[in-house]
Chain A
């Protein structure tokens, strides 16, 4: 098992590389991957360079980064709450981001930002939800933070329902609903630029608290007795999770089950250690979302199945099976 634990990140890294190449090669038009990437990097104006640079590379990288963000944040939140059923959306950032992006479709905010307007509004929405949640929590106890997150999620969810209810026309409603279903298509490298800073900051905040996540395995009292700051550390983890999830949702809509399921799948491969679960979960999340996007593209032409729908379709039965398998331990 020790050898398995040590090799897990390498195996996952290799699988991620294979998945990325597969995603770059997959599409309605046959394009040589390496030649297309080289032409794009050198600024050549070939069909391969345009397809790679404008469509496949952004889509692939977004899928990987968003999957990684969701996997990483799920592993962190489950470690913080000592609960394998904790979902990163519980911080309220997910619904806040969705509401922010919905406001773009409804009110036409940030028109100057073009296609990146939903992402920008989503980030602001996630930030506002986060500030409200932290103000409401006002406590060092992780459970309290999540209670507050749930309350803010409920409020923002209700506001989102109002926006949907009073959509100015059916087309706006359709556009909004499709966006919320989650997708990485029709997005460019500019979206990646929106996504990366909050994701990096969130990952750093969480990574700094990996010792706390490990110590919390034995409970809050033991963690405090080992000289760790529960209040500050918990807030950093929650802030990191909210940044990762908020940024992901603001760019790609809601992609369900990744943050919940991936850490659950990876946990046995890292000796169940919450600190060692973070990066393998990020890698596995990237693989899962990227593979799901490849599957979406591989479906027969016609109306596209949204990525978030597919991850839920695949994730829900798998999750039910995992709960069924582990019910004696956790339920």
Chain B
């Protein structure tokens, strides 16, 4: 049974007729130019934006799920995150357990280890670098151990080393019979890590399928309006603007 399934999702002018399916163990990458609707789609999947059409979570209509139950199954990592207060890393990661109303120390420890912030747990988040903060926000979502993890550009502020680490973490997370849906701009990383890609253009699905099916020069050149060179046979895959 699919963990996420959408049918004809629409959101004003931002999204139009988006239908996709994510099975357990899969990682779906949402790609496309700025303003294509990537963040809007993730917010619809998270139940944060009221959209038309149908969104199903593990066989149940998302809209029919009580908010707390939805939050236990769906973890959402927004594109921009900040803390209003000078909270400790441990306190922020503990927030991930809020939908469960518990303080599961094992889950929090695992999440901090996976995100590579265990050594930072006593530090105040506003004293960390942007990259360290990005991993703390990720650890917060991982601590909730949701079945579906939605991440909006989780590697945007990370250096190359941490980009690869975070993608590895998400990949492993998806493999454990969960699903990860993430928006990202790095097409090479998308080709390397994602099982499925959804190419959005002006709120519409331009292509949906395996990286080989979606990342073609024709698709990318049309959507991004620049000539693109694609070599998926290279290791790692190479996708460059000509």
CB distance from A230 to the nearest CB of B (A): 10
Minimal beta-carbon separation of A254 from chain B (angstroms):
28
Residues of A within 8 A of B85 (CB): 82, 217, 267, 272-274
A218, A226, A229, A273: the one within 8 Å of B99 (CB): A226
Neighbour of A272 across the interface among B70, B74, B78, B87, CB < 8 A? B87
B97, closest chain A residue (CB): A226
Checking A221, A222, A228, A271 against B91 with a beta-carbon cut-off of 8 angstroms, the contacting residue is A271
**Complex: chain B residue closest to A211, CB-CB:** B98
A217 touches B87 (CB 8 A): yes
- In the bound complex, what is the Cα–Cα distance between A221 and B141 (angstroms)? 13
Q: Which residues of A have CB within 8 Å of B84? A: 82-83, 216-219
Given contacts A214-B95, A214-B98, A219-B82, are A226 and B71 in contact (CB under 8 A)? yes
Q: How large is the interface on B (under 10, 10 to 19, 20 to 34, 35 or more residues)?
A: 20 to 34
A113 within 8 A of B: no
List, in ascending order, chain A residues with CB within 8 A of B67's CB: 227-229
Known contacts being A216-B84, A218-B83, A227-B68, is A273 close to B92, with CB within 8 Å? no
B87 to chain A, nearest CB (A): 5
A215 CB-CB contact with B under 8 Å: yes
Query: A215 to B98, Cβ gap below 8 A?
Result: yes
Q: Which of B36-57 contact A (CB under 8 A)?
A: 43, 46-48
B60 at interface (Cβ–Cβ under 8 A)? no
Q: Is A224 an interface residue (CB 8 A)?
A: yes
Question: Which residues in A have their C-beta under 8 angstroms from that of B70?
Answer: 227
**Which residues from 61 to 100 on chain B have a C-beta closer than 8 Å to any C-beta of chain A?**
66-72, 74-76, 78, 81-88, 91-92, 95, 98-99
Contacting residues of chain A (266-295) with chain B, CB-CB under 8 angstroms? 267, 271-274
Please measure, in the bound complex, the distance between the C-alpha atom of A274 and the C-alpha atom of B95, giving whole angstroms.
12
Q: Which residues of B contact A214 (CB under 8 A)?
A: 95, 98
Q: Mark contacts of A223-238 with chain B using CB atoms, 8 A cut-off: 1 yes-contact digit, 0 otherwise.
A: 0111111000000000
Our count of residue pairs bridging A and B at CB distance below 8 angstroms stands at 74
Tell me the minimal C-beta distance from B67 to chain A in angstroms: 4
Q: In the complex, what residues of A have CB within 8 A of residue B78's CB?
A: 219, 221-222, 225
CB-CB < 8 A to A272: which residues of B? 85-87, 124
Selected from B48, B71, B88, B92, the residue in CB contact (under 8 A) with A218 is: B92
* B134 → chain A closest CB, angstroms: 13
A81 to B, closest residue via Cβ: B84
Q: What 1/0 mask marks residues of chain B from 187 to 200 whose CB sits below 8 Å from any chain A CB?
A: 00000000000000
Cα of A215 to Cα of B83 in the assembled complex, Å? 10
Q: Can you give 18 contacting A-B residue pairs, CB < 8 Å?
A: A217-B83, A217-B87, A217-B92, A218-B83, A218-B140, A219-B78, A221-B43, A222-B78, A222-B95, A225-B75, A225-B76, A227-B67, A227-B71, A267-B85, A271-B91, A272-B86, A329-B86, A329-B126
Ordered nearest first, which 5 A-B pairs have the shortest CB separation? A227-B71, A82-B84, A225-B76, A227-B67, A227-B68
**Known pairs A217-B92, A225-B74, A226-B98. 18 more at Cβ < 8 A?**
A82-B85, A83-B84, A216-B84, A218-B82, A219-B81, A221-B48, A221-B78, A222-B76, A222-B95, A225-B46, A225-B75, A226-B95, A227-B98, A228-B98, A267-B85, A271-B91, A273-B87, A329-B86
Which residues of A are in contact with B by a Cβ distance under 8 Å?
Answer: 82-83, 211, 214-219, 221-222, 224-229, 267, 271-274, 329
